[in-house]
Structure 1
């Protein structure tokens, strides 16, 4: 009898175990279905929001175009220009808000297998463009913009343009217009949008994060932080060698990995690293650099250009020096390389100041192409200075002297 009872209990235990396994898998299946439903609903909502706001953007653009037609006979040129600036700024702001909102929701909420889906800006940060241009085909500009005049102070005119930065969300181009003590903003096609000039003192270097613009003030020996629309948020720095002091700062860039700001502190012969809030973080290259001019930061390396031989220093993300490249001198066909940008494959697109051309090097420091010559016409340069890649792979160049224009290649 005892053996029969044991057998009955064992059978009952097997039945209960089988039921528990089935119930467990059923609950897991229901949980996965619910998770799948939530994720798909979130995707649907994001798409709906995007379509809704994109429709509003189209309406705003239509209103802008309609406004242009309706006001041509009733407004003066200045009034029409001001109206155009206001509406364009509103459109840019809406586009920025929309993109930032969708990007934020995508990063924070859409998770599969415990990891956040990465957008294209995660994989290719703004400092490493997602498009590698066909450099050998870039002989003449596809666009030629910016008015020129004797005084060069009106909207859209440049006087000693120094640096160029592209806002990777909107594609707008920000130019440090040094002798006019302002930053001017153009569309990706070279059309003037607006400017800002609060607390400017010879702006020279410029870089853009998702929501902010950082500008080095060469004569002011300081760094300014603005929002995308040009409102001054913070100013730090003075002349000296202290933690938040500079001596003629030049180039500046923002790290997409941790949002730190890298500033070329030229006469102090070092790169100063600040937090996004412009607090002191650390120093790079002290005792190594001779006269630093420009810097670019990616997720895995920091590249600096220096008026020395070798002129390019490559550090890893821990700021350990990993390579030195000689890209100046007779053998390398560059003479005072002053600004540069990099593409996804770490090709270096450099403005060659005294040779009046643009040179392209691979990440080994080997020159693979160059274009341009001295002059003031299309496809010609006189002391090219600021240079940048946009999201479509166009090379954008501004010159410091004489041909104050914006050229696209």
Structure 2
């Protein structure tokens, strides 16, 4: 009887094969489903992080708005009257300046308080200003270089520009190529910095042999030395604590080497020593989204790109002196993004959407316009980083497809 109902070996093998195939199919489906679930969980975590960042930004904005409204409620009527009187005095002084020779006016540091001091010593002022008249001759660039691409010396969406004062060498934050390119002041490619060490570099500043680079990709500030082109240190992460950054933009140094960083979405200027140790912050209720910052002998200039772009003029301690609206009827600029100061504290501003460079006096009067929209030599397309070399050459980078780096002199 046992032999009559025995299952043939081939049938057994077939059944085992079917069972194994069924099990393998189930395992495969389970693995696919597991991968799908892991992706869903990952996306949910990313959405949660994005929502948390949005919540923090909104909380910060609400807190700042609340503080501003509280200050407005506390405003002293007498203080408002004093401000009106000060404005009338400034307007009167501006009218009086019309009768002063242009050559003399261009020599002044045009802060209102310094004008009063300067009146008593007009006889000592040099009558022929050096370098300023050059702007009217900058109809086209003398040098156009830095072809678009990813190879050495080529640029791909360049951002910040800085000049080494001792050598006149030009340093360009090569944003999409994740490095810094170095050129001579005649446009010759020299070297690279930060290869495979930078993540979307935006801003750049130089003091002595130290080069400081801000990176949008990981919210860091990177310090290099020109001695051997090595990375000395890196600080920062995303956040709002001291030493953290939220979209760091341009940076600059003062005469003793302190680093001033435009921490855009934290609405502050973060100040560090030469080794990038945090020292203090500059904040002001009207200073929102600082994009670029420069420091002169006794002033801090901050360009903000919120709904009403402003150039804020502060003391070194961070006290606000006055502001200039940098777009509209007063300044005739569409989208100011980068700026530098010339030897007379005129503002030289890259105007992204008018595809030009504008030069303004310290009180906001338009002096010159450089460049037109295009991709040929002397033309600009969405200009960004800008700097002036010690030997009076104006350096500009833009999205010009043929000549992203141009030098005017």
TM score, norm. by length of structure 1? 0.65
Indicate how the Cα distance of structure 1 residues 136 and 270 shifts in structure 2: closer, same or farther if over 3 A, else same. same
Listed as ranges, the matches of 1:175-214 within 5 Å are 175-196=172-193, 197-214=195-212
Q: State the match for 1:100 in structure 2.
A: none
Does residue 271 of structure 1 match 2:269? yes
In 2 relative to 1, CA 238–400 (structure 1 residues): closer, same or farther, beyond 3 Å? Answer: farther
Give the one of 149, 159, 163 matched to 1:162.
159
* 1: CA distance, partners of 2:185 / 2:208: 16
**1:129-140 correspondence runs (5 A):** 132=132, 134-140=134-140
Matched, 1:145 2:184: no
Q: Is residue 381–residue 403 contact of structure 1 (8 Å, CA) maintained in 2? A: no
Deviations 1:246-285 (A, max 9, x none): 01100100011x3210001111111111111101111112
Against the structure 1 CA distance between its residues 248 and 400, is the aligned structure 2 distance closer, same or farther, given a 3 Å change threshold?
farther
1:207 and 1:215 in contact (8 A); partners too:
yes
Deviation at 1:177, TM superposition (A): 0.2
Partner deviation per Cα, 1:10-50 (whole Å, 9 max, x = no partner): xxxxxxxxxxxxxxxxxxxxxxxxxxxxxxxxxxxxxxxxx
CA distance in 2, matches of 1:321, 1:172: 34
Q: SS at the partner of 1:267?
A: helix
3-state SS of the aligned residue for 1:384?
A: coil
| Contact 1:202/1:219, CA 8 A, preserved across alignment | yes
* Pairing 1:339–2:338 present: yes
- C-alpha change, 1:328 and 1:213, in structure 2 (3 Å) is same
> Does the aligned pair in 1 maintain the 2:298–2:316 contact within 8 Å?
yes
Give the alignment's Cα RMSD to 1 decimal: 1.5
- Residue 161 of structure 1 deviates from its aligned partner by 0.3
1:226 maps to what in 2? 224
Q: Check the 8 A contact 2:331/2:364 in 1, yes or no.
A: no
Q: 1:348 to 1:331 in 2, by over 3 A?
A: closer
User: Tell me, what secondary structure is at the counterpart of 2:373?
Assistant: coil
Tell whether the 8 Å contact from 1:131 to 1:392 is kept in structure 2 after alignment: no
Tell whether the 8 Å contact from 1:382 to 1:403 is kept in structure 2 after alignment: no
Partner Cα distance (2:169, 2:396) in 1:
14
> Aligned partners of 2:282, 2:399: CA distance in 1, in Å?
28
- Assess if the C-alpha contact under 8 Å between 1:311 and 1:326 holds in 2: yes
CA–CA separation in structure 2 for the residues paired with 1:317 and 1:286? 13
Matches within 5 A, 1:347-358: 347-358=346-357
CA distance in 1, matches of 2:295, 2:403: 28
* Distance in 2 between residues matched to 1:289 and 1:320, nearest whole Å: 11
Q: Secondary structure at the match of 2:384?
A: strand
Preserved CA contact (<8 Å) 2:375 2:400: no
The runs of 5 or more residues in structure 2 that have no matched partner are 1-129
2:376–2:400 contact (8 Å) kept in structure 1: no
Contact 1:131 1:343 in 2 (8 A): no
Structure 1: how far apart are the matches of 2:401 and 2:211? 27
Aligned to 2:305: 307
Residue in structure 2 matched with residue 31 of structure 1 by the alignment: none
What is the Cα deviation at residue 405 of structure 1? Answer: 1.9
Structure 1's unaligned 5+ residue stretches are: 1-129
What CA distance in whole angstroms lies between the structure 2 residues aligned with 1:160 and 1:371? 20
Tell me the SS of whatever aligns to 1:241. coil
Alpha-carbon distance in 2 for matches of 1:147, 1:401: 9
Runs (4 or more) in structure 1 with deviation over 4 Å come to 130-133
Are the equivalent residues in 1 in contact too, given 2:248–2:262 (CA < 8 A)?
yes
Which residue of structure 2 aligns with residue 174 of structure 1?
171
Answer whether contact 2:376 2:403 (CA < 8 A) is retained.
Answer: no
Contact 1:131–1:391, Cα closer than 8 Å, also in 2: no
Whether 1:298 aligns to 2:296 is yes
Q: CA deviation at 1:395?
A: 0.8
Separation in 2, partners of 1:271, 1:184: 26
How far is the alpha carbon of 1:133 from its aligned partner?
5.8
Partner Cα distance (2:380, 2:230) in 1: 33
1:179 aligned counterpart, secondary structure: helix
| Equivalent position SS for 2:265 | helix
1:371 alignment counterpart = 370
SS at structure 2 position matched to 1:134: helix
Give the Cα separation in 1 of the matches to 2:189 and 2:360: 31
- Mapped partners of 2:325, 2:406: distance in 1: 27
Structure 1 distance, partners of 2:200, 2:400, is 15
Pairing of 1:66-145 with structure 2 (within 5 A): 132=132, 134-145=134-145
The count of aligned residue pairs is 276
